[in-house]
Structure 1
Amino acid sequence: MNVYFEKLIKPNTTHVEVFNRWENNPDLIPLTRPNQNQLELERRDIVTLEHLKQRLQYNHTYLIYLDDKLIGEMNYMVDPSHLYKKVPGTAWIGITIGDPEGRGKGIGYKAIQYLEEEIKKHGFYRVELGVFEYNIDAQKLYHRLGYEEIGRIENFTYWQDKMWKDIRMEKYLGVN
């Protein structure tokens, strides 16, 4: 199993196609974006090349490959307005393992470790993330990586006919 990561600098039509597939996958939508009702949960978005280019203006995005196949992406942004703790110089992270063949193999663990190293290289040492309360697998992953819960936001996302909390977690990265 050859896993490697690559910073997305110049998106192309292949990236657009893959991002559209992941961002509109009904199995992934409840895990990757908050929704306020069933209508939002069923909404589909169109990712364009221009949209991906704009995203790179505020996100550092890295592609995740398994044996030369693009299977996911991870990203971070610095000091977004949705931080739970407003600590300057905080990196907010997100990860999507879009292809099922990339799940359950420890790839997410390796990917987050890689992302943390990139964050440290850029001079940031606090990381924050949000994970929906029903995403138990992701919570376990973040705990294994040393993330600790710092709060919960009630009624954050809709799924399976009810509203769920968003669990906010943080980690301070050691200085090498």
Structure 2
Amino acid sequence: MKISFKKIGVPTDKLIASLNKWENDPKLVPLIHPCRNQDDIESYVLITKEEIKKRLTKYQMYEIYLGDILIGEMNYTVDPMHLYKKERGTAWIAITIGEEIARGRGVGSISLKYLEEEIKKQGLKRIELGVFEFNKNAHKLYQKLGYQEIGKNKQFTFYQDKMWDDIRMEKYT
């Protein structure tokens, strides 16, 4: 299993098509975005090249490949407003393994380790993330990689007919 990464400089049509597929997959939407109700899960979003270009002014974004297949995207931004713990020099990370063939194969772990190294190269000392409490697999992965819980945003997102907390976690590099 060959996993590789490519920093996104200019968004390609292939990337935009994949992001639109993942961002509108009803199985993935509740894992990657907070939702207020079932309508949020089922609503369609359109990702454009212009939007990704705008994101690239604030985020470092990377494509994740399994062989030559684009299977996911990960990113980080520094000191965003939504940090739970307002500590300067903090990278907020997000990862999406969009293709089902890549899930449960260690891709998330390898990808996060790569992203942590990229963050470390920038001289950043702290990483923070949020994981919805129903996403047990991701929560377990973050704990395995050394992330510690630092708080919760109560009743943050809707999934399977109820509201769930957003668990905030941190790791020092």
Provide TM-score, normalisation by structure 1: 0.97
Structure 2 residue matching 1:45: 3-state secondary structure: coil
Q: Give the match's secondary structure for 1:22.
A: helix
TM-superposed CA distance for 1:13, in Å, is 1.2
Residue 43 of structure 1: how far off its partner (Å)? 1.3
Question: TM-score, normalised to structure 2's length?
Answer: 0.98
1:48-59 residue pairs with structure 2 within 5 A?
Answer: 48-59=48-59
Match of 1:143 in 2: 143
Q: Percent identity?
A: 55
2:130 is matched with 130
Off by >4 Å, runs of 4+ in structure 1: none
- In 2: Cα distance, 1:111 partner to 1:158 partner: 27
Unaligned runs of 5+ residues in structure 2 are none
Shift of 1:107: 0.8
Match of 2:62 in 1: 62
Q: Distance in 1 between matches of 2:73 and 2:125?
A: 21
Deviations along 1:12-52, one digit per CA (max 9) or x if unpaired, are 11111111001101000000000111221211100011111
Which consecutive residues of structure 1, in runs of 5 or more, have no partner in the other structure?
Answer: none
RMSD: 0.6
How much does 1:172 deviate? 0.2
Equivalenced residue count is 173
Query: 1:76, CA displacement in angstroms?
Result: 0.3
CA distance in 1, matches of 2:107, 2:14: 22
Partner of 2:105: 105
Q: Deviations over 1:65-92 (max 9, x none)?
A: 0011100010000001100000001000
Per the alignment, residue 162 of structure 2 pairs with 162
Q: Deviations over 1:85-123 (max 9, x none)?
A: 000010000000000111111110010000000001111
Equivalent residue of 2:109, what SS? helix
